[in-house]
Amino acid sequence: MDEIHLFQLMRLTSRNVTHFSFHSLVDLADIFRILESCPQLVHAMFSIITISDYNTVSQRIIQLPFLESLWIVDNSLDTLVSDALYKHIAAPALRWIQHKGPTDIEFLFSNNRFSRQNRPHSISSLVETSLGIRVLELDRFVMAPDTLRTLLEVPSTTFFLNTLCLISPNPTEIKVSALGEIIDPFDLNDLIVQEASDGRGKYVLLPRLEIFELNATLASDDTVFKFVSGRMDVRSPIYTLKKVVILFNRRMPKDGRDIRQEILDRANAAGIQLDLTIQYLDSDKSSSNLVDPLSPSLIRTDSSGEDVYSDGVSWPFDERGQEDYLSDDDG
């Protein structure tokens, strides 16, 4: 961002601004200046490029007591960028974090420009200190496996997450061969209900999970079945799933098994209403079931597939109905 543009932008900001959405690439130092000048923010969305000068970045903790949703697109290749952002934000009211990485991750990996160490870690500390978080939307391919595991292992006594979307850039366009060369940092087996080690009851990570989306996965049909069906005991303190979206980055097995119908039959038998979408690479990509207002990959389109900005509306943040998944009701 050039200095003239930034100067004009800063003149428009004030201490009373509550919603800020900026789609152009922004230097992290500029983002810090904006955040510091807008302490009343409720929603913030930025696309980060880099840090032009680390000496210009504030080392103070930025207090954002009213911030409920933070959406970040990290287009930098420097782990210090996103780490610096999350490390210097205090947002006790935060309910919704969205972190998306570069759009062309296949190019990044194929050109050895994106190492496993070059990924944000401090997002886990932000999650741990913002105990009210209900929604996490993460591009998992820009997360280190230990970072994802740390997020999943936040104690359930203080972590009431009910929506987890593990997305990928352009989920229906990543080539099978390319993804096969990229190690998926997430293992769906981690969210399957297990017998407790002492033999008393069940144990599971994210026991309050109700909405789950996983894009571009190579997980097996059996793993998906165990994950969903294992959370169907209405007598258990483990919440039942209400909505599940699984977008495979592989074709349907030739064994003829229909896990979607198997899962729905199990849900019906348990008296559970489940909104379930399972799509393979050879599935119909025009299915209206895939239009999900929680999905970052589809946030720009309506049910007809038209760009929601075509009518001149430029504000992407829909606050209608948030009470359903940002509620303080813990069950």
Work out how many domains the chain is built from and give that number. 1
| 237 lies in some domain | yes
| 139 lies in some domain | yes
- Structure confidence at residue 51 (pLDDT): 62
Closest CA to 47 of 123, 99, 121: 99
271 dihedral zone (left: phi>0; alpha: psi -120 to 50; beta): left
DSSP reduced 3-state for 36? helix
What CA–CA distance (Å, rounded) separates 113 from 121?
A: 18
| 245 lies in some domain | yes
- Structure confidence at residue 223 (pLDDT): 97
Question: What are the CA-CA distances from residue 11 to residues 50, 73, 305 (Å)?
Answer: 23, 24, 37
- Structure confidence at residue 25 (pLDDT): 83
- Structure confidence at residue 169 (pLDDT): 65
| 327 lies in some domain | no
What CA–CA distance (Å, rounded) separates 5 from 24?
A: 11
Per-residue pLDDT tens listing for the chain (331 residues) = 444 455 455 555 567 889 988 878 888 888 888 888 889 999 999 988 766 555 656 678 999 999 999 999 887 766 667 777 888 899 999 999 999 877 665 555 554 444 545 555 678 888 888 878 999 999 888 788 888 888 888 876 667 899 999 987 654 445 544 555 567 889 999 999 998 777 777 889 999 999 999 998 999 999 999 999 999 999 999 999 999 999 998 889 888 789 999 999 999 999 999 999 999 987 554 333 433 434 444 443 333 344 433 334 344 445 544 455 455 555 4
| 161 lies in some domain | yes
DSSP reduced 3-state for 264? helix
- Structure confidence at residue 157 (pLDDT): 64
How does DSSP assign 166-205, residue by residue?
EE-SSTTTS-HHHHHHSPPS--GGGGS-EE-TTSSSEE-S
> Which residues make Cβ contacts (< 8 Å) with residue 259, sequence separation at least 6?
221, 224, 225, 278
CATH code of the domain covering residue 209: 3.80.10
Helix (H) or strand (E) holding 105: helix 105-110
| 153 lies in some domain | yes
Domain that holds residue 131: 95-309
Name the E strands within 81-237: 89-90, 96-100, 135-139, 163-167, 194-195, 202-203, 211-217
| 125 lies in some domain | yes
CB atoms within 10 A of CB 143: 24
pTM score above 0.95: no
Tell me 100's DSSP state: E
CB 229 within 8 A of CB 260: no
| 179 lies in some domain | yes
What CA–CA distance (Å, rounded) separates 44 from 62?
A: 13
